[in-house]
Chains A and B, each alone.
Chain A
Amino acid sequence: MLAFIVQRLLQAIVVMMVVGIISFSLFQFVGDPVNNMLGPEGTTEQREKLREKLGLNDAIPIQFIRYAGNALKGEFGLSYRMGKPVDELLVERLPATIELVAVSAVIALVIGVPMGVYTGLRRDSWLSRVFLTVSLVGISLPTFVIGILMILVFGVWLGWLPTFGRGGVVDIGGWQTSLLTLQGWSHIIMPAITLALFQLTLIMRLVRAEMLEVLRTDYIKFARARGLKSRDVNFGHALKNTLVPVITITGLQIGSLLAFSIITETVFAWPGMGLLFLQGIQFVDIPVMSSYLVLMALFFVLINLAVDLLYYAVDPRLRAEHTGGAAH
């Protein structure tokens, strides 16, 4: 167990190092910060002074260590575009993205798992067929098209829901939340569903496939033969054994929810980190790009780590593997 955790931690550190080097080298290859700060009027002397002050004359490895140290403290410098510290900008935007992703993940799970169980148990019913067909379309629809369709139908034609922004936010200890007001919910519902739809279909298909697999196994047949109630068999035995892959995929999908939130945030003008990053790219705002990259990598690494550990906790077979027990 310990060896496993250590190995995973090492892997995570390597990934973070690599991403750190990439985001550091962004500063090296893209543009000259001195030009950005002084503009074309700066004299050679001023330039040289500023270079010295910024530490740009030091050897590259020393610069990298300094960059990494600052990054650990959460300092990424000033945004070229906004002239504000990047960490402030990110912290300001973080709650919006986190709330959007969290609501989406909950929607995907709460709807996706029951749909998957249903289509797995009643594979020939007409409702299952409808679910499956809809899910195929859901997978082929790009996120932004779903968002646009929802805006058109619920925002423009029916006029039921607002189509952009977060609405009013309530400040709780520095965390700006929009989940406490009805207005906030009316704003989040469309972006969240848009973001959730793809994961929802994925989870549904996964649960269905796993259910079909598990229901064929001997222990389920045996449980039925013993006369256990089918509800107990279906949920106590079958569903429980499908959870391992579901946890993995859902966990990893939270990562892609974060990535896809860039698109959803653009469609709905949701003031989150994704929108900030996209504007950063359009304006070649290196500090924003670099810090977003590091932050994303951190999220992904943490998610992967958590998923691995959870895996371990949920599946006793994995623990048995170490002592030579047969797995799978």
Chain B
Amino acid sequence: MLKLLKYELKKRKSTLIVGAIALAVAEGLVLYFLNRQGDYVIFSIILMFLMAFGVILLAFLDVAVQYYNDFKKSQGTLLFLTPNSGYKIVGSKMIFGALELLVGLGIVVIFAWITNTVAINLGYSGVTRQIREFKEVMALVFGDTGMWFAVVGFFLLVFLQYTASQSVAVSSITLGRTMLSRNSYNWLWAVLIFIGVNIGIQTINSLILVGIGMGDGLFNSTYTITNASEAAEMVSQVTKYLIVGGVQYIFWIVTSFFVSSTLLNKKVDL
């Protein structure tokens, strides 16, 4: 598996370097606009959002396109000729995608911290005050330690959600290839499967969350915290939804992995 991951990295070396440079340039622009102050600050905020969105999108596209190309281009033969099972091959693709996303989001978080520090130094009291107030409210509800658990839990959930999307994309490509192996439009088939499966997954996830009371539990209590017991109730609700949400995404990741790997072993023409 480690060897497969090594070659996944090697073939993407140039793309990842370009991506890292693009992120660094974007952060440079964020700081530049922040420094110019006035209306330019809005560009900084937009760029920060674009960076986060770009990392998620690029990691997703990279995983999907690389995997699709392994089937479509002759270079894929080099990989599929090796005595590696579908489990190892699909596993390496999914793990690499998850790592790519994790590192990308990590860089964005570091850049956001740098931006925040620069903003404080430049005297942007409005934004920094809001962040401080947000932290104070979070600390009040969750406690000092609990606040960091909630923040980490939220980021973990976002990470699992987009990793699940990558995994569903991988299984959609495998399914498309299984159904229409020699058709030049099997990419379109894969896209349609991806959209269909995603709608199905989101519907099931939502039904489960509503079923355990998310609708009238979380949102009502958000606005009615007036004492410690309500805060404790809020913490318990948030923890429950974070855990259930996380388990759901892990379930879809594992299901996608087994579907893709089994098909790759037994049904797909390579």
Q: Do A and B bind each other?
A: no
